[in-house]
A = this chain, B = another copy of it.
Amino acid sequence: MKRKPLNDAPCCIARSLDQIGEWWSLLIVRDILLLGHRRFGELLESLGCARNMLSARLKRLVACGILTTAPAADGSAYQEYRLTEKGRDLYLTLIALRQWGERWNSRPDEMMPHLVERGTGTPIALELRTQDGRPVGLRDIEVRRDG
């Protein structure tokens, strides 16, 4: 399927989608960020996709500055994939997606891992707030185009 290129779209949501490329790429970020995977083999096993597909996606994520490569921490000949600051910053997107999925796509028999504060174990959630800290919902939002 041919798709219109988004990298020049006049909307940064569209350009972001272009960089992430496709959903599989976001699963790579999830694996590195939340599961701590760092090596090609670990990602291959976790994602269950073909070697050449994983390889192409990793290359693209490196080119976009979302991932970077480094020699393995254990001194072996392996190469590790690490998230850049830009890549780590995708965590809110992943958590938003997780929160949506938990609400709408979870299964009764499924044990969902909880997102909690390290140390205290207090549950954590994504919220929309005003600059001065008041929680707001979808109905309270307005998109303004002025400077």
Contact = CB atoms under 8 A, between A and B. Distances in A.
Interface of A: 1-4, 6, 10, 12-20, 22-24, 26-27, 30, 34, 47-50, 53, 65, 86, 88-106, 110-132, 134, 136, 138-147
Contacts of A102: 12
The secondary-structure label for the interface of chain A is mixed
Given A49-B4, A141-B115, A141-B118, A89 B105 contact: no
B30 A13 contact: yes
Given A104-B86, A138-B88, A138-B91, A96 B126 contact: yes
A126 B127 contact: yes
A124 B136 contact: yes
B127 A141 contact: no
A3 B116 CA distance: 32
Nearest 4 Cβ contacts at the A-B interface: A12-B101, A16-B101, A17-B23, A96-B96
Nearest to A21: B23
Contacts of A134: 117, 122
Given A92-B128, A122-B131, A128-B92, A145 B111 contact: yes
